[in-house]
Amino acid sequence: MLTALATLGLVGLGGVVTSHEAGMAVPDWPTSYGYNMFALPMRFWKGGIFYEHTHRLWATLVGLLVVLLTRWLGGFESRRPLALIGGAEVLAGIAVFLFRPELKATGHFLTGIGGVVLMAALIWTRKGSSQPGLCKMGWLAFFLVQLQGLLGGLRVVLFKDHIGILHGTLAQIFFVLLCLIAVRTGWWWEQTGLRMPLVDPVNLRRWAFLVTALIFCQLLLGASMRHQHAGLAIRDFPLAYGKIWPATDSESLARYNSQRVETTVSNPITAFEIRLQMAHRAGALLVLIAVAGFLRSARGQGVFKGVLVLSGLVLLQATLGAATVWTNKAADVATGHVLVGALSLVTGAVLCMILPCGSLRSPQSTVVPVESGPAH
Amino acid sequence: MKLKSSLVCAAGILTLTQVLSAADITGTVTLKGTPPAEKTIDPLKADPTCGKFHTENPTTHFYTVGAGGELADAIVMLKGVTGKSTGAAAQPQVIDQKGCLYSPQIVAVQTGQKILVKNSDPVLHNVHTTPTAAGNSEQNQAQMPASPDLSISFSAPENFLKFKCDVHPWMFAWVTVVDSPYFAVTGKDGKFTIKDVPPGKYTVTALHRKASPAGLDKQIEVTSSGASADFTIELK
Ligand SMILES: [Cu+2]
């Protein structure tokens, strides 16, 4: 639970960093301005550096929590694999130092995280491992968090916006995974949660998957838009450049760009970006329709409240999306849009997870977890 | 001995005639149409450190236009002239960071010409170049107050190559890299002079980051008395 909350904070911070276009404010990694990340003097903590640096520190905290979580979920049996992985990472890190000195940033990262993993292996726990499903989710989180950290760092040192998109998307998937773990380990799962009267679980499940998949597509589009550094490609809503579907020929583009005066973004907009945003708008409409359908078929059933929450979030999300355009992408509105997007995805994924079993099975039986709704 | 001296003499006359016949291209760039209003850079004024360097709210300078439409910050260059760069021997171009803004914001240099980036501010900036042409590499270097100038150069021609500072997300400069010495940036009067162009037929192009990023072309012939080329960029 704690880990999930911390991750939400991290996704939020990631959103803050990109909203402020501050992703590259700290040019080196894993060091910050040559300092060890934890010893960066306060005089550096200004402007964009503040956002990016807080993001990094917080990410480290999440990483630590996830490693502990894996240890806890994996119980006694996780000691050996953790020790092996930790050891291997430290060795790999040292090998990188020795043979590929130009990649020494990655070496630092590997030895650091390997050390943490080794330490986790040393913690004594008598607890047996959790259900195999949960245990697997723990391991998945364990690998994802490391991959995520590596991607975040490589984005900074390799100057690749594509890695940034991947980093943003993986963050969402990772957050969903942690929330699913939190739900599975919480009191709610053990007790009442699953004894809901469901008339037609198969139909509801279909709806849940559809909505979650649509939301995930929206998040993908959103992440790509955030990493184009072009700000808003279309500045009016509900119309687009005064039309339902805007013109994207080169002459119109030149006209749009010549009329743009932007203070903190700089890339000229392209036809691709306009289409991207139009797709995002159309997608939002689809999500809204799908959620309405979901809500209708869930009426009077055990999950109705959950679906109601999802609908509320989606509606809020659509409003925030429109507000992002109307406020000319005010940083806090845009960050809120990222956060509520993540929450909507999680709610959808949780619904996916609880629906297949519904009232048909008891919580103790092994349930094949839906590891991440979006994958479907 | 006689032969040698006459050879030297002939060579001297040859270079002399070349220099003499090389001439300037002059002209004015005018903007037709109403540009959008400049915006105040609010995050700069709101920044606790950088805001103090400005008594008034600083604005963007995308269109610097005179009363008669004279357009500053347009880059005029000979199109398709490559491999003539004398950048390695040219004076370095200085870009300063002052008041948490790049100055100047529109710059043109030759390939291989040094760009010296200064930090006149008592705050840290990071100088982040984001080229897109193959052959120019992206760099991101931190520059502390009072630290030595950063020296940067590019080997491939590229229009409006962006410099930015990620600490202060409103800080940008756009550097156009030309593979010859035949270019100029218009002043506040919209005027430009491209110096010492050898006689011949050329395509001259006028680029403005906002109004004509792709360039407005014009065919001219440079004779021993030079040539003139006036451009009118139309905003639609
Ligand atoms: Cu700066």
Residue-wise pLDDT tens for chain A (376 aa)?
A: 556 655 665 665 555 555 554 455 455 555 555 555 555 555 555 556 767 777 777 777 777 777 777 777 767 667 677 777 777 777 777 777 777 666 666 667 777 777 777 777 666 555 666 666 777 777 887 888 888 788 877 777 766 667 777 887 887 788 888 778 777 776 556 555 555 566 677 788 888 899 999 999 998 898 888 777 666 778 888 888 888 888 888 888 888 888 888 887 777 888 888 998 999 999 999 999 999 999 988 887 777 888 899 999 999 999 999 998 888 777 788 888 888 988 899 889 888 887 755 444 434 333 444 433 333 3
Is A370 contained in some domain?
Answer: no
Residues near A55 by Cβ (< 8 Å), separated by ≥ 6?
Answer: A10, A13, A14, A16, A17
Minimum distance, in Å, between the CA of residue B10 and any CA atom of chain A: 53
| Cα atoms found within 13 Å of the Cα of residue A354, Cβ hemisphere only | 28
Nearest one of B111, B112, B116, B114 to B127, comparing CA atoms: B116
| CA pair distance A4, A177, nearest whole angstrom | 9
Beta-carbon separation of A47 and B39 below 8 A: no
Q: Does A47 touch chain B (CB under 8 A)?
A: yes
Is A372 contained in some domain?
Answer: no
| Cα atoms found within 13 Å of the Cα of residue B148, Cβ hemisphere only | 3
Nearest one of A123, A12, A148 to A69, comparing CA atoms: A123
Q: Mutate which of B39, B62, B140, B167 to test chain A, going by most A C-beta atoms within 10 A?
A: B167
Same domain, A21 and A150: yes
* Owner of token pair 């973004």: A265
pLDDT computed for residue B151 by the predictor: 95
pLDDT computed for residue B14 by the predictor: 47
Cα(A25) to ligand 1 centroid in Å equals 9
Same domain, B158 and B225: no
| CA pair distance A24, B165, nearest whole angstrom | 9
Same domain, A151 and A243: no
Same domain, B114 and B227: no
Same domain, A169 and A199: no
Cα(B102) to ligand 1 centroid in Å equals 9
Nearest neighbour of A47 by CB, restricted to B38, B41, B167:
B167
Same domain, A153 and A253: no
* A238 preceded by a cis bond (ω within 30 of 0): yes
Nearest one of A251, A291, A290, A297 to A271, comparing CA atoms: A251
Same domain, B53 and B119: no
pLDDT computed for residue A351 by the predictor: 85
Strand blocks (E) in chain B: 23-32, 75-79, 93-98, 101-103, 106-110, 115-119, 125-130, 139-143, 150-152, 158-164, 172-178, 183-185, 191-197, 200-208, 212-222, 227-228, 231-234
Q: Do B30 and B190 form a contact (C-beta atoms < 8 A)? A: yes
| CA pair distance A246, A236, nearest whole angstrom | 11
Same domain, A175 and A211: no
Same domain, B133 and B122: yes
Domain that holds residue A75: 1-185
Same domain, B169 and B189: no
Q: Do B184 and B145 form a contact (C-beta atoms < 8 A)? A: no
Beta-carbon separation of B167 and A49 below 8 A: yes
Is A231 contained in some domain?
Answer: yes
Tell which of A158, A185, A212 closes a domain.
A185
Nearest one of A56, A18, A52, A17 to A228, comparing CA atoms: A18
Cα(B103) to ligand 1 centroid in Å equals 12
Same domain, A338 and A218: yes
| CA pair distance A164, B106, nearest whole angstrom | 28
Tell which of A169, A185, A201 closes a domain.
A185
Nearest one of A94, A126, A98 to A110, comparing CA atoms: A94
Q: Which neighbouring-strand residues pair with B107?
A: B175
Is A281 contained in some domain?
Answer: yes
Same domain, B67 and B124: no
Same domain, A295 and A262: yes
**Torsion angle, CA of A162/A164/A166/A169, rounded to 10 degrees?**
-140
- Which residues in chain B have Cβ-Cβ distances shorter than 8 Å to A54? none
Kind and range of the H or E run holding A225 = helix A201-226
Is A375 contained in some domain?
Answer: no
| CA pair distance A232, A253, nearest whole angstrom | 14
Same domain, B191 and B176: no
- Model pLDDT for residues B35-62, shown as the tens digit of each residue: 999 989 888 888 888 999 998 889 999 9
Domain that holds residue B145: 85-181
Q: Do A337 and A308 form a contact (C-beta atoms < 8 A)? A: no
CATH of the domain at B7: 2.60.40.10
Same domain, B103 and B187: no
Task: Give this prediction's pTM.
Answer: 0.73
Indicate the number of domains in chain A: 2
Same domain, A223 and A288: yes
Same domain, B150 and B111: yes
Same domain, A267 and A343: yes
- Model pLDDT for residues B200-222, shown as the tens digit of each residue: 999 999 999 999 999 999 999 99
Tell which of A185, A206, A226 closes a domain.
A185
Same domain, B172 and B189: no
Cα(B48) to ligand 1 centroid in Å equals 13
Tell which of B181, B208, B224 closes a domain.
B181
Q: Which neighbouring-strand residues pair with A35?
A: A32
Beta-carbon separation of A258 and B211 below 8 A: yes
Total length of chain A? 376
Q: Do B40 and B58 form a contact (C-beta atoms < 8 A)? A: yes
Same domain, A257 and A350: yes
Minimum distance, in Å, between the CA of residue B153 and any CA atom of chain A: 18
Same domain, A35 and A109: yes
CATH of the domain at B157: 2.60.40.420
pLDDT computed for residue A17 by the predictor: 55
Paired tokens of A371: 């590891």
Paired tokens of A58: 């917080």
Same domain, A3 and A67: yes
Indicate the number of domains in chain B: 2
Kind and range of the H or E run holding B19 = helix B2-21
Same domain, B64 and B100: no
Is A317 contained in some domain?
Answer: yes
